[in-house]
Amino acid sequence: MFHRLIGCFALLFALLTIPGTGAAQPLMGANRAPALLQRTEHFNVYLARGSLRRAEALQLIERLEPTLAIVAKRFGTPFKARERIDLLPPQRGACAIRGLTISGKRHIQLFYGPGADLDRLQSLVAHELVHQLQRERFGDRVQQTADMILLEGWATVASDDFARTPDGTEPRWRARMREQVAQHAILPLTVDLGRDCRTTTRNTIYDHWASFVSFLEQRYGPEALAAVYASGRGRAAGSANYERVYGKSRAELEAEWRDWVVTQ
């Protein structure tokens, strides 16, 4: 996922995964700074008061290395170095977020309280690890300017082994996408999360972005997807150079996707 934590989701996401920004500042006083809990092969995990219980944190830690192995294989990129993970108290409010990745500093922050659903938290860890893997594959410059549609859509798709429907048959984003189609609730892919700073909108548009990335990969192939990701010209949704890669504008591709998604 970068940032100085402030109340505005838009500014947080403008810095998402950007290397070289200021040090992360957790939403807590100095007396609640996270303390090192455990090291694994690839992770240093820190736990703050008000986050998971110690026993819950240790259960999550047991899942980290297997999760990394699966998403690295799915994304097709090896993990190059160690990562710091901070387990912090949950944020509050309409713009509250659950996870941030400061990829340039190899630092993930997770905002969860005691009693959190560890399966859901594992799926978020997988998503955040894909953001780090995006930087591993494409480097700092590309990750700083990756189109939000592709940045988050690809991370959602590449981590969906950990975000399945209750029967395990398909990714949650795909099932929710069908519901959104049935309800005629399709949003523009370029929705501005800074203007509509709500968790519900964020969840919905992430489903859309995942579906769009899946469409691009299935119809035009993985090489073109990698090329358009690398063509980003800013964090804004729709900023990649779709015309150069696909010979079609983002709007034309979105229209194709809208026709495609109703058949899924």
CA distance 8 to 83: 26
Contacts for 172-176: CB closer than 8 Å, 24+ residues apart? 173/206, 173/207, 173/210, 173/211, 174/210, 174/211, 174/214, 174/264, 176/203, 176/204, 176/207
* Cβ-contact 136, 74 below 8 angstroms: no
Structure confidence by residue, pLDDT tens digits, 57-70: 999 999 999 999 99
Which pLDDT does position 91 carry in this prediction? Answer: 92
How far is the CA of 69 from the CAs of 22, 47, 78, 118, in angstroms?
Answer: 29, 23, 9, 18
pLDDT of 189 reads 96
Predicted pLDDT of residue 19: 33
Q: What is the mean pLDDT of the segment spanning 207-232?
A: 98
- Per-residue pLDDT reduced to its tens digit, 14-59: 333 333 323 333 444 444 789 999 999 999 999 999 999 999 999 9
What structural domains and CATH numbers belong to the chain?
9-139 (3.30.2010.30), 148-261 (no CATH)
Q: What's the pLDDT at 201?
A: 86
Q: Is the pLDDT of residue 84 over 90?
A: yes
Question: How confident is the model over 135-193, as pLDDT tens digits?
Answer: 999 999 999 999 999 999 999 999 999 999 999 999 999 999 999 999 999 999 999 88
